[in-house]
Amino acid sequence: MKKINHTKILGFPSELSQVILNLLANSQDALLSNNIKKPYINIIIEENRKHIYLSIEDNAGGIKEEIIDKIFDIYFTTKPKKRGNRTRTLYVKTNY
């Protein structure tokens, strides 16, 4: 694991945290519902002079092709009505 420098990120910290938590919760739900034998979730953070890249990946099988175009719609969810988190996508810029 490589330690990255402390970098100032412009944006809304609580919204970014909520997006990350929702992605992790979605990964966990998919891993459990697909009965993955050796589940994993990788969080990868990379940076260059102008940007920070955050990737979250798992081995749950990916997003189904028939819903891929809807995942950024504000009210779209695959969860039962009372479980869905309706979070907007947040774009974050780094400050250099």
Nearest-CA neighbor of 90 among 25, 22, 16, 17? 16
Tell me how far apart the alpha carbons of residues 28 and 60 are, in angstroms, rounded to a whole number.
9
Asked, for residue 84, whether it belongs to a domain, the answer is: yes
Tell me how far apart the alpha carbons of residues 69 and 50 are, in angstroms, rounded to a whole number.
29
The total number of structural domains in the chain stands at: 1
Q: What is the pLDDT of residues 45-77, one digit of tens each?
A: 888 878 888 999 999 999 889 999 998 888 888
pLDDT at 12: 86
Model confidence, pTM: 0.71
Q: What is the pLDDT of residues 18-50, one digit of tens each?
A: 989 989 999 999 999 999 999 999 999 888 878
Report DSSP state, residue 23.
H
Nearest-CA neighbor of 92 among 5, 3, 4, 18? 18
Tell me how far apart the alpha carbons of residues 74 and 70 are, in angstroms, rounded to a whole number.
9
Range of the domain at 49: 9-94
Asked, for residue 1, whether it belongs to a domain, the answer is: no
Tell me how far apart the alpha carbons of residues 86 and 8 are, in angstroms, rounded to a whole number.
27
pLDDT at 4: 61
Asked, for residue 18, whether it belongs to a domain, the answer is: yes
